[in-house]
Structure 1
């Protein structure tokens, strides 16, 4: 066989492989069947997304980022990004926007991933921001009495190239995911379509960031186990949760992967039992179209709960919630507390559901 024929067959094989991978990514064969764990209602106060949620059990409240849609240039003027507060104990099903004090320019505030550090009753929030010309982590403290935030500082590092989410492990110390490599719109879409492993995970030690994992496929949501022994990273295109052992020096070692057959976005780890609650996008082509036109095109929503067993060697997965997009579109995170579940979305509203039988969800 001549060299030209070999090259032709290799190109055809690669083309067919890529075509099949794209078909599988689109989930054209999937259908979502609606079900809920109990009565659900839309939370008042949030209209432009509830992309990530950080629950602080010490106060029984959740901090919610809203407005990531303002990353789209034509939406910057009409959408004001902010951080909202939801109090589980009040049961008034309302989220309030937290005012921000201090020398912080809110003109282009585009809050994305969020994580909290609690020390001596002091709550510090770390929030990924996408201002024009770069990516940063904004640091705020929470005033419980005034229900407000105070700006502390901005953290920048050249390795924050395409940040999506972060997981705080100490004061000014956190892991952060870079979802993609290319920032150019068309190159970014090509990277995702070809499912290239060009994402990364970095660790910021308070002074500088270092890369702890390269060549990763769409690292998105990131969370740490409450006792800092495991690190979890969601890969939407891989449809898996990657589990790493976390050493005291913050180095990571691959442990296992949890296959979901759905695209995970962000996660919440229950401190009481270590359960992992995941907001997912069950149908690929729907979420792709939804991102392009969130006002007019729905995307199915799904929440999965993962209970790890036998030292994270096995697990049980249940589905507490699923919806075809009619109630909420593009679920990105789920948080559970005292038989209540909050479900956040990329660009849509925030949903609260009562969990009637927590033992079976």
Structure 2
């Protein structure tokens, strides 16, 4: 009997090691070697440490940047939301002037629509990670880009928020990258590529899980008409597509598109395509996390959400920007941010609209 038990344990351990080897090899990007694009015409715009997310407001003509210093794990005085005109790199300014002292911004999303009185309004949704727990801060956005804090939201389904997309004045979806967090079970979740990440929905009053099945859920966004939602699986290297019911917030998964990149934030272009930056090589990224002088390669892709077809729109050795986390298309430009770098890289982009 003991021999059978030991044999079963041995088989389970062997299968576990095989699974870990497969997940690590696939997720690490050791087999990915993107051809670098010509980035000589790109211009770095200095912001603040950790330009993790960038989104564009067509009303004000400003790009909003979520910046937080992440290497130390401590609060940093320059953490905040910044704005600048992509046509004027010298216009950078801090716009989250009434943010709390423990502000650690992460994913952001801009929503514009109408209030109950039919007046045009703008909202900026910001994930923050203070020591007291995860939050979403909702800001009013003036036509000149000025921010005013309106509300702070926390709910039980906001477990480990990474990215966010606003779909109403106070309604939003947020990705929960992992289930177990920074625990031994969390490491097992990551190394085994367990699909325990999820997307939560807040309807303005209550929060709930709207979708699950992600191997490290990351970027999230919606189509221009709000009928579809897109979610990125970082470890799974998969783009998930959902039909969305605007009335209830319910999501129905319709497609999984493999994309050979550790997918991070998702931005929707005026052409309806998705612009997604991500991690090329996890090991290089971890080395860069420890040592700023150690570069990590960058890549961003344009994805057709209907077919999953993708093309590289930016790739770099890490000299111009390290391991991009977001690629935002603004007309004939791409704005690229990163988890640790302190600049946004502004590059010309000549694809057909």
Give TM-score, length-normalised by structure 1: 0.88
1:1-361 equivalences under 5 Å are 3-4=4-5, 5-36=7-38, 39-44=41-46, 46-67=47-68, 69=70, 72-73=72-73, 75-76=74-75, 78-88=76-86, 90-92=87-89, 94-101=91-98, 104-105=99-100, 107-119=101-113, 120-145=119-144, 147-184=145-182, 186-248=184-246, 249-270=248-269, 272-291=270-289, 293=290, 295-308=292-305, 312=306, 314-348=307-341, 349-355=343-349, 357-359=350-352
Deviation at 1:297, TM superposition (A): 2.7
Report if the CA contact (8 A) 1:38-1:354 is conserved: no
In the alignment, the residues of structure 1 paired with residue 183 and residue 92 of structure 2 have an alpha-carbon distance, to the nearest angstrom, of 33
Pairwise CA distance, 1:296: 3.4
SS in 2 for 1:100: coil
What stretches of structure 2 of length at least 5 have no aligned partner? 114-118
Q: How many residues were matched structurally? A: 344
Query: What is the alpha-carbon distance in structure 2 between the residues aligned to residue 307 and residue 125 of structure 1?
Result: 26
Secondary structure of the 1:69 match is: coil
Q: After the TM superposition, which segments of 4 or more aligned residues of structure 1 sit over 6 Å from their partners?
A: none
RMSD: 2.2
Are the aligned partners of 2:278 and 2:299 in contact in 1 as well (CA < 8 Å)? yes
* Structure 1 position 100, deviation (Å): 1.9
Q: Distance in 1 between matches of 2:92 and 2:126?
A: 18
Instruction: Report if the CA contact (8 A) 2:280-2:323 is conserved.
Output: no
| Structure 1 residue 242, shift from structure 2 partner | 0.6
CA distance in 2, matches of 1:80, 1:187: 33
* Cα offsets for 1:30-67 (capped at 9, x unmatched): 334321367101013x1302111122222322211001
TM-score for the superposition, normalised by structure 2: 0.90
Give the secondary-structure state (helix, strand or coil) at the position aligned to 1:13: helix
Rounded Cα–Cα distance in structure 2 between residues aligned with 1:186 and 1:330: 26
Cα distance in 1 between the residues matched to 2:180 and 2:311: 35
Q: Secondary structure at the match of 1:191?
A: helix
Instruction: Go from structure 1 to structure 2 and tell me whether the alpha carbon gap of 1:153 and 1:17 turns closer, same or farther (over 3 Å shift).
Output: closer
Cα distance in 1 for partners of 2:106, 2:89 equals: 25
Is there any run of 5+ residues in structure 1 with no aligned partner, and where? none
- Asked whether the equivalents of residues 67 and 79 of structure 1 are also in contact (C-alpha less than 8 Å), the reply is no
